[in-house]
Amino acid sequence: MRSQIIGALALNLGLVSAFQDASPFFLFSTSRLANTSLDSLNIASSTQVTSSVLKALESCSSQTYLLVEQPSARVSDFVNNKAAPTLRRQIQKEDERVLSSYTVQEVAGTIDVAKITQYLSAQCQTQQLSQEQFDNHRSSNGGSPPAIVAIQVAALPSNPKERAIQLRNNDDLLGSYIDTASARGEYTVLYITSPPSTSESPYTSAHTQQVYEMDELDFASADHIELKRDFNGHIRDDENKALPLFETYQFLSPGLFMAGTVSLILIVILYVGVNAIASLEVSYMAFSKEMGPAAQKKQA
């Protein structure tokens, strides 16, 4: 009994935490990236996604690499078509310049941005630029080396309306950086999100009201598990004792009502039958033996 309870609790906690600690990942580029397993991943760990991204970027085919970090985001934030129109247009390849796009809906864990930056610096000889330096390199599309820019956008608040507004503002900022990168040549954007913490999650307050209070189970003692007792039944019994007799008990149930109705019908039928038999009138002479001349003629 104890092992079954522990197993059920572990399974439920694992399923809940798997979605609470997950967030989406987006990758799109105006270059044709190397073959990768990103297109077949819907739910993956951060380690799997990081290794697949490094595999996709090994060709070093872009002039600019934008690493956008979006904190406190979930996949449900991007479901609405109007939530992030710039990002949606790039992912769905509505921009004719975009040749490769990948989406992983649920990434468990945090993607190692530093590892990707180090890989690009070593593999593609990229130079890391700040956001201000990148704005100044807008017109440098000739002999400048490939650049990598880390962009940290504002975290999404917990309030739904404010959350949508902030996501739209971040999307507009993404659009301006894409325009700058497009002026430099080919570009690749890694849109990396991280899930909100438990305290700032928009779903925490709603789910808190659904959590049932449980007594602490002492699993160290295998003799017995004391379950919570319902004392409300005893209180209701005490209240019922103070009520009148006909309010405390139900004397006429549906079964008794049907039985009484059927019995009444049968009694009526029996009364009619007995009354019909009793109303028959037969004279006593019908049962006496004939002794007159008519009887002697019949015997002759």
**Cα–Cα distance, 146 to 127 (Å, whole number):** 6
Residue range 102-147, pLDDT digits in tens: 999 999 988 999 999 999 999 999 999 888 888 776 555 556 789 9
**Cα–Cα distance, 101 to 105 (Å, whole number):** 13
Residue range 144-183, pLDDT digits in tens: 789 999 999 999 998 999 999 999 999 999 999 999 999 8
List of residues 6+ apart from 287 with CB closer than 8 A: none
- Residue pair 170/153 in contact by the 8 Å Cβ criterion: yes
**Cα–Cα distance, 202 to 242 (Å, whole number):** 49
Tokens standing for residue 300: 């002759």
Q: What is the mean pLDDT of residues 277-292?
A: 71
**% of residues, the chain, pLDDT over 70:** 67
Per DSSP, the three-state class of 102 is strand
Determine how β-strand 100-108 pairs with β-strand 22-29: antiparallel
Lowest mean pLDDT among 221-225, 231-235, 294-298: 221-225
Please report which helix (H) or strand (E) contains residue 193, including its range.
Answer: strand 187-193
Lowest mean pLDDT among 7-16, 130-139, 211-220: 7-16
List of residues 6+ apart from 217 with CB closer than 8 A: 5, 225
- Residue pair 74/66 in contact by the 8 Å Cβ criterion: no
